[in-house]
Amino acid sequence: MTPAERQEALEIREANAALLTAKLERDRLALESDITASAAASKAASAISRALEADAVKRTKALEGECAQLEEKLAKLKAEIGKATVGAQAAGLARTDEEVTADKAAVAAARAQLATERAAFDGERSSFERESAAFQARHKAETQSLAELRTKLGAIRNEIESSVKVREAEVHKKEVYLDGERNKLQAAADSLMRAESQFSEQRAKMESQMASLAAKEAMYEERHRQLQENMKHFVKA
């Protein structure tokens, strides 16, 4: 594999790692948003529960006050009936059956109203207890879900951190390797430049030597020509 191919493979791996990191970051943000929403819902549910409890306490006190008032009225009615009976007996007056029946009916009506209001109060209390139990169950489930989301977020965060560490180690390893390859290529280039410089020097020397040889050859040719001319003159003489 050439350095260019290794560099391209490294860039592809870094791009894939960046995409994975971005996806994990999106998942982490989504989980954090879910956790925030769950926490807000839990707070709202707690506020609603406190409001319901306060309202229930208020209504309970109001119903208890009404029951106390009805019992007080019933006691007063019984006392008035007793006083009227005693007064009538003391005065020697005989009460009619209709009056006795009316008094008994009034007492029965008061008792029935009291029983009805007590039953309504008990029903409201039971309804509130059921609502409170259902709310506590929902709150417990939401708390459990929030804890699970936090656990998932921690796992994803650890995965992101470990992935980033592994990617950083790989990138550092590739950088070290590429630096070594780059140094080798630079050393080879330097060696090639030195060889080219030496070759240029040798070529300049050879050209100088060839120029010197050409000058010598021209000088020899001139001497040879002069020698031939001298020989011709000698032959003629």
pLDDT tens readout for residues 54-68: 777 787 777 777 777
Question: Does pLDDT of 164 surpass 80?
Answer: no
Cα-Cα-Cα-Cα torsion 156, 162, 165, 168, nearest 10 degrees, comes to -70
> Residue 96: which pLDDT band, with cuts at 50, 70 and 90?
low
> Residue 92: which pLDDT band, with cuts at 50, 70 and 90?
very low
pLDDT at position 94 is 47
Question: Does pLDDT of 81 surpass 70?
Answer: no
CA distance 14 to 8: 10
Buried b (16+ CB within 10 A) or exposed e, 48-74: ebeeeeeebeeeeeebeeeeeebeeeb
Q: What is the mean pLDDT of residues 78-106?
A: 64
Average pLDDT of the chain, as a whole number: 77
For 187-212, give the DSSP string. Answer: HHHHHHHHHHHHHHHHHHHHHHHHHH
How is residue 23 written in tokens? 């996806």
Better pLDDT: 76 or 45: 76
Q: What is the mean pLDDT of residues 111-129?
A: 78
Helix (H, G, I), strand (E, B) or coil at 183: helix
pLDDT at position 112 is 82
Most confident of 96-110, 139-153, 207-221: 207-221
Contact present, 114 and 71 (Cβ < 8 Å): yes
Question: Does pLDDT of 107 surpass 50?
Answer: yes
Question: Does pLDDT of 89 surpass 70?
Answer: no
pLDDT at position 40 is 77
Question: Does pLDDT of 93 surpass 50?
Answer: no
Residues 6+ apart with CB under 8 A from 153: 28, 31, 32, 35
Domains, the chain, ordered by start: 3-170 (1.10.287)
CA angle (87 as vertex; 82, 88 as ends), nearest 5: 100
Q: What is the mean pLDDT of residues 13-39?
A: 76
> Residue 197: which pLDDT band, with cuts at 50, 70 and 90?
confident
Q: What is the mean pLDDT of residues 13-30?
A: 76
pTM above 0.75, yes or no: no
Question: Does pLDDT of 2 surpass 80?
Answer: no
Better pLDDT: 220 or 25: 220
CA distance 125 to 53: 11
